[in-house]
């Protein structure tokens, strides 16, 4: 199967307008004034999606779809959010959030929101898409997405009923190690915490949409994206090892993700709280920008770890963070150069201590001069004991990255 | 069913906080506050007709729509002129965001002759070797020029520097409050 940038844009637009429909339904039904903050097409592995679900205390409503395309949609919200929603839908039901009354309220909400989300895809494909009855699922730390799918009363006939279907076909599709996931973040005006709509189409369905939307000349085998995702994971792993070697503190890669997002959506992914770290420019195939950011406490912890027992002044702490930025960037990018058989040069680090979204704004603005969408690579390296977290954002030039993909393609075949 | 649209001006009740995204603008009426975060080289253009109680805030990324056409699939070509989502068309560029916002404000009851502008952002945080640099500064120049073209007086600015800004615009008073990562809030 091949994917091209035109298809990714179409995917992004369809997912976004679907999410707007869903946000409109939410506003109508609950009075919460919701809007779509960011729509991302993630070249994710199943494990990545699972991790995101696990890390948050999410309650979810699942609806399967079949017909022109097949797959699963998931409406997820924070538990607190779910309770306030239930109260808006069925006054009084939130007194007993586990009651059937409460969960059926959420299921009905899911039915309308996800139904609206799917409609646009059916219109685009000019063919019908049926949705199944909604299933309410509470995710907990021990449950994987696979369990959820297996547990779901997945009813491909779209008939009402609570029979548990052992839908082996669907399970097998989701079981593939890479999926395209459409992640839509909805937010209400007064709160950051929001709602997420995930759409996980089967691989065959992705192919169906690519056939309808794509530009075959420009297509890249989907395995290339997988190879690239793998390369990003390895880079994050190397950066994590180097960080551990430098600080003497064990670290793990928490997140490592490749996504395709409208350029203006990138700063909106970041907080408007202060972050410290470095920004670097890299050049080669591809060139681009990288930001290594720490929250203020993490920045202090890292500087302390580098200079144990020293009463370091602010300038020394700044140098320590710059050095960390250098090390993490080299670890992160060296593997790319090897895999892509190219040289990637890295500029000296510029120290930053500013609003996180404002730090990436000039990076994205440079890219926006020549591209509407960006491949965003985001990784997080964290210590198990929460001493510090290091966020890495890399923004390669889109066309140069496509050229780099050509280098990766033969390996994938 | 009510269809949600980007025209957030129509359903504003009192004391609302309205978020303006990147490459976005919105209009609000007295009692509301327009907010936008993370201006680096981007500029925030805040317009208000205080007498009518109508205000608008734009968060634009690049100076001119026509200047940035330098590649296939890039900003400024056929696809670049369409917003990628519900944000208003043209909100990405200073020279198209200003007339778009003025028009939306007039539709909400503002009188063009009373509208005053405040401008913030356009900083130079980094010096990139690849870019032709100075996007922040060019954004500021484009905003001043465009406001002049439309005869909108610019009453206060907080532009340039090497730091980011987040904005909060009071639609009742027309005061623009500017927050940095460190230091006091600053009102213009």
- Domain check: are A244 and A354 in the same one? yes
pLDDT value at residue A361: 94
Residues A254, A369 within the same domain: yes
Q: Chain A to chain B, count of Cβ pairs less than 8 Å apart?
A: 174
Q: What is the mean pLDDT of each run of 10 residues along chain B (188 residues)?
A: 39 66 92 92 95 95 70 38 58 93 94 95 85 83 94 94 94 94 88
User: Are both A134 and A237 inside the same structural domain?
Assistant: no
Same domain, A167 and A127: yes
Same-domain pairing of A208 and A249: no
ipTM of the complex: 0.82
DSSP-derived pairing of the beta strands A389-396 and B54-60: unpaired
Q: Which residues contact A354 (CB under 8 A, 6 or more apart)?
A: A274, A275, B125, B163, B164, B180, B181
CA atoms within 13 A on the CB side of B39: 33
Query: How many C-beta atoms surround the C-beta of residue B25 within 10 A?
Result: 28
Which residues neighbour A107 within 8 Å (Cβ) at sequence distance 6 or greater?
A: A61, A134, A135, A136
Subunit contact A28:B17, Cβ cutoff 8 A: no
The boundaries of the domain holding residue A364 are 220-412
Taking the Cβ of residue B23 and every Cβ of chain A, the question of whether any pair is shorter than 8 Å is answered with yes
In chain B, where are the structural domains located? Answer: 17-187
3-state secondary structure of B175: coil
Q: State the total domains in chain A.
A: 2
Q: Decide if pLDDT at A108 tops 90.
A: no
Q: What is the pLDDT of residue B66?
A: 65
List the single range of A352-356, A362-366, B2-6 with lowest mean pLDDT. B2-6
**Residue from A41, A361, A376, A395 to probe the interface with B (highest B Cβ count within 10 Å):** A361
Please tell me the class of the B17-187 domain.
Answer: alpha beta
b/e map A388-403, b = 16+ CB within 10 Å:
bbbbbbbbbbbbebbe
> Are residues A278 and A210 both part of a single domain?
no
Q: Is the Cβ pair A353, B166 closer than 8 Å?
A: no
Asked which of A214, A237, A266 is the last residue of a domain, the reply is A214
Indicate whether A103 and A121 sit together in one domain: yes
**Spatial distance between the Cα atoms of A209 and A219, rounded to a whole number of angstroms:** 13
Domain endpoint, select from A214, A244, A261: A214
A21-45 per-position pLDDT tens digit? 888 887 787 777 777 777 778 776 6
Beta strands in chain B (DSSP E): 17-19, 24-29, 33-39, 43-49, 54-60, 116-121, 154-159, 165-170, 176-179, 186-187
- Give the span between the Cα atoms of A317 and A194, in whole angstroms: 36
CA distance B12 to chain A (A): 10
CB-CB contact of A370 with A319 (8 Å): no
Mean pLDDT of A332-345: 82
Q: Is the pLDDT of residue A154 over 50?
A: no
Rounded CA-CA distance A60/A48 in Å is: 17
Does residue A195 have a pLDDT over 80? no
Considering the domain architecture, whether residues A196 and A295 belong to the same structural domain is answered as no
What's the order of all strands across the beta sheet hosting B54-60? B24-29, B54-60, B43-49, B116-121, B154-159
For an interface test with A, give the residue of B5, B12, B16, B23 to mutate (most A CBs within 10 A): B23
Q: Could you report the per-residue pLDDT of A292-330, keeping only the tens digit for each?
A: 999 998 988 888 888 877 776 888 888 888 988 888 898
Q: Which residues of A touch B129 (CB under 8 A)?
A: 281, 283, 347
**Domain containing residue A405: CATH number:** 3.40.1550.10
**pLDDT for residue A189:** 63
Contact by Cβ (8 Å): A407, A342:
yes
pLDDT at residue number A143: 52
Start-to-end CA span in chain A (Å): 11
Interface of B with A in 77-96 (CB under 8 A): 79-80, 84-87, 92
Summarize pLDDT for A246-290 with one digit per residue, the tens. Answer: 888 888 887 778 888 888 889 988 888 899 999 999 988 888 999
CB contacts, 8 Å: A190 with chain B = 17
pLDDT at A173: 42
What pLDDT, on a 0 to 100 scale, did the predictor assign at position A159? 30
Residues A255 and A209 placed together within one structural domain of the fold: no
pLDDT of amino acid B109: 93
DSSP state of B62: B
Residue B112 — φ and ψ, nearest 5°? -50, -40
Tell me which of A181, A214, A247 is where a domain ends. A214
- The residue from B30, B39, B42, B91 that is catalytic is B42
Task: Name the residue with higher pLDDT: A103 or B118.
Answer: B118
**Residue in B3, B22, B61 nearest the CB of A24:** B3
Asked if residues A273 and A279 have their Cβ atoms less than 8 Å apart, the reply is no
Q: Using DSSP bridges, classify how beta strands B43-49 and B116-121 pair: parallel, antiparallel or unpaired.
A: antiparallel
Same domain? A245 vs A288: yes
In the structure, what pLDDT confidence band is assigned to residue A412 with cuts at 50, 70 and 90?
A: very low
């Amino acid at each position: 199967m091949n994917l091209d940038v035109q298809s990714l844009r179409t995917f992004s637009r369809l997912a976004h307008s679907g999410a707007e429909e869903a946000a409109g339904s939410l506003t109508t039904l609950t009075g919460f004034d919701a809007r779509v903050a960011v729509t991302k097409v993630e070249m994710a592995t199943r494990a990545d999606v699972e991790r995101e679900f696990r890390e948050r205390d999410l309650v979810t409503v699942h609806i399967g779809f079949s017909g022109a395309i097949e797959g699963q949609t998931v409406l997820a919200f924070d538990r607190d959010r779910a309770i306030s929603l239930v109260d808006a839908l069925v006054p009084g039901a939130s007194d007993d959030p586990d009651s059937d009354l409460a969960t059926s309220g959420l299921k009905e909400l899911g039915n309308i929101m996800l139904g609206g989300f799917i409609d646009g895809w059916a219109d685009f494909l000019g063919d019908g898409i049926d949705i199944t009855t909604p299933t309410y699922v509470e995710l907990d730390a021990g449950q994987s997405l696979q369990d959820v799918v297996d547990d779901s009363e997945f009813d491909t006939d779209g008939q009402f009923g609570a029979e548990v279907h052992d839908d082996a076909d669907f399970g097998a599709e989701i079981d593939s190690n890479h999926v395209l996931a459409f992640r839509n973040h909805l937010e209400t005006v007064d709160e950051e915490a929001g709602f997420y709509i995930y759409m996980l189409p089967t691989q065959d369905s992705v192919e169906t949409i690519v056939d309808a939307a794509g530009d075959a000349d420009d297509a890249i085998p989907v395995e290339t994206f997988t190879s690239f995702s793998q390369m990003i994971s390895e880079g994050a792993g190397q950066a994590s090892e180097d960080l551990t070697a430098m600080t003497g503190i064990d670290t793990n890669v928490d997140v490592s993700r490749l996504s395709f997002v409208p350029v203006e959506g990138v700063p909106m992914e970041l907080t408007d709280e202060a972050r410290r770290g470095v920004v670097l420019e890299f050049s080669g195939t591809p060139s681009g920008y990288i930001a290594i950011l720490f929250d203020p406490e993490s920045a202090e912890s890292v500087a302390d770890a580098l200079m144990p027992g020293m009463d370091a002044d602010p300038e020394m702490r700044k140098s320590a963070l710059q050095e960390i930025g250098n090390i993490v960037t080299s670890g992160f990018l060296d593997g790319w150069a090897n895999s892509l058989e190219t040289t990637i040069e890295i500029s000296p680090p510029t120290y930053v201590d500013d609003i996180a979204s404002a730090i990436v704004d000039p990076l994205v603005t440079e890219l926006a001069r020549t591209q509407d969408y960006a491949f965003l690579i985001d990784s997080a390296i964290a210590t198990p004991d929460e001493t510090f977290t290091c966020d890495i954002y890399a923004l390669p030039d889109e066309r140069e990255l496509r050229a780099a993909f050509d280098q990766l393609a033969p390996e994938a075949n | 069913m009510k269809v949600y649209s980007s025209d957030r001006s129509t359903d504003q009740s009192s004391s609302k906080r309205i978020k303006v995204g990147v490459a976005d603008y919105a209009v609000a009426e007295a009692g509301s506050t327009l907010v936008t975060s993370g201006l680096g080289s981007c500029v925030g253009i805040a317009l208000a007709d205080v007498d009518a109680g109508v205000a608008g805030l734009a968060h634009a990324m690049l100076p001119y729509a026509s200047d940035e056409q330098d590649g296939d699939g890039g900003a400024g070509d056929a696809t670049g002129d369409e917003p990628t989502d519900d944000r208003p068309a043209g909100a990405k560029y200073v020279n198209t965001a200003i007339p778009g916002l003025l028009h939306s404000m007039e539709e909400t009851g503002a009188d063009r002759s009373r509208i005053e502008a405040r401008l913030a952002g356009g900083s130079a945080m980094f010096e990139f070797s690849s870019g032709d640099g100075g996007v922040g500064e060019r954004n500021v120049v484009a905003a001043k020029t465009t406001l002049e073209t439309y005869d909108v007086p610019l009453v206060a600015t907080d532009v340039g520097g090497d730091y980011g800004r987040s904005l909060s615009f009071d639609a009742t008073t027309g005061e623009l409050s500017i927050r940095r990562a460190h230091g006091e809030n600053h009102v213009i």
